[in-house]
Amino acid sequence: MYPCNRFRVNMYIKLLLLKLPSLLITVFLLCSAAFGQSYQDFVNETDVDKKCRLADELSQRYMILDLDSMKMTGEHLLAFSNKKQNKKGINLAYYILGDYFTRTAKEQKGLELLREAKNHYLSNQDYNKITRIYNAIGIAYQHIGNYKEASKWYKHSLKYGELASDEYVTNMALINLAQAQQAMEEYDAAIENAEKYKDWVMKLGAFDFVSNAFAVLGSIALDQEKYDRAVYYFEQCYKFAEKMDDNAGKGHAYTNIGIARYLQGDKEASEECFLKALEYRKKVRHISMLCDAYLNYGGILFEQQKQEEAIKYYKEGLRVAQQHKKYSNEIELLEALKEAYTGYDDKQLVEVSKMMEDATTHLSKLNESQEKLDELLTLELRESERIRKSGFVSENNKWPFYVGAVILLAGVFFVALRKKLT
């Protein structure tokens, strides 16, 4: 985001709020799960139950840190489970991949898989998984922009959360419900649910996630143009992030404070906040967010006619994006440079335009490669659907049939015995 005018800032805020549910859904799962094993341990595991446990843990970690690895985990589990014809693995893979698709703008595909997983876990009365899946379905609808439907699923998640045995998932949907209500301008209800969420995480001692509650309260205050109140909430975000020595959280807090200060018209304070956010994000080394921080800081400099300084930070962000082949970030930074060079340096403007074409081509090729991988995934999904319809149950799950056979044989024996006695 480079705040060249208020419209762009407002659009950035809306995009930020849209992404928040994807960031917040795993809060407590990350708290409660122990991530000792590596991806390679998961790949090497041959026991279905252990493999599913590892897949669940890894996917929770990857949900925030690495979506590509989350997809790889789901795909591997699905292929493995198809070969074993194991419905437990297939449905967990549906959940992982469904959650992945909802986070990568393929909501319809994600919803189809999440609903399949939902039906499986409902039949098994696994209320921990159901609570999580209903929340994920709500997020999918929220990303689509259907906030009323999203609210319905969040409320279902809370209902099943009352039956869940894992205390870290019971009220996980509260914060997402608050955001859906915010989008519908139901501010009183949104504030109430965000406060409930905050109290809940405080009670659990999950102080690093109290920051998330304050972030939502701050964004509601921004919506209501209560900028001083928003700054207060974002400062609380920073306070709890600092308490947990969370550099990513501190970077988010200063980014939000910078936006609030900009909307207040205090560009100098906004510049200072975006610079602090950049310094924290350098420590985290999350490439996309680091590029975003360079874009933010360069943007506020450009807004104040500090053109050469702005170009310097845009270029540094561009270098990082190119080094790590983050083509989407590269294109955003090139767009910012294009605006900065317009009417200022025609030679550089031509060069930037050429770089923009190259980055767009690379991104297109990357998307084509992704489509080919998606075709392989589609084949795996068709195979698992065939297994589901066949009614086949793996060796691990055949014990109900053995029990049934014993009961049937006992019945036959009893009938035969009665005939003999008569």
CA–CA separation, 64 vs 58, rounded Å? 11
179 and 215 in contact (C-beta within 8 Å)?
no
DSSP, residue by residue, 76-115: HHHHHHHHHT-HHHHHHHHHHHHHHHHTTT-HHHHHHHHH
pLDDT of residue 223: 95
217 and 52 in contact (C-beta within 8 Å)?
no
Nearest to 211 by CA among 191, 232, 238: 238
> What is the separation, in whole angstroms, between the first and last Cα of the chain?
89
pLDDT of residue 63: 82
pLDDT of residue 330: 94
Q: Report CA Rg, the chain.
A: 25
Alpha helices in 125-186, H assignment, sequence order: 127-144, 147-161, 174-183
CA–CA separation, 3 vs 59, rounded Å? 35
387 and 88 in contact (C-beta within 8 Å)?
no
Going residue by residue through the chain, which has 422 residues, state the pLDDT in tens, using 9 for 90 and above: 434 443 344 334 444 443 444 444 444 444 444 444 688 999 999 999 999 999 999 998 888 667 889 999 999 999 999 999 999 999 999 999 999 998 887 888 899 999 999 999 999 999 999 999 999 999 999 998 999 999 999 999 999 999 999 999 999 999 999 999 999 999 999 999 999 999 999 999 888 789 889 999 999 999 999 999 999 999 999 999 998 888 988 999 999 999 999 999 999 999 999 999 999 999 987 888 999 999 999 999 999 999 999 999 999 999 999 999 888 899 999 999 999 999 888 899 999 999 999 999 988 887 777 677 567 666 766 777 676 566 554 444 444 434 444 444 444 344 443 444 34
Instruction: Copy the structure tokens of residue 339.
Output: 């605006």
pLDDT of residue 173: 96
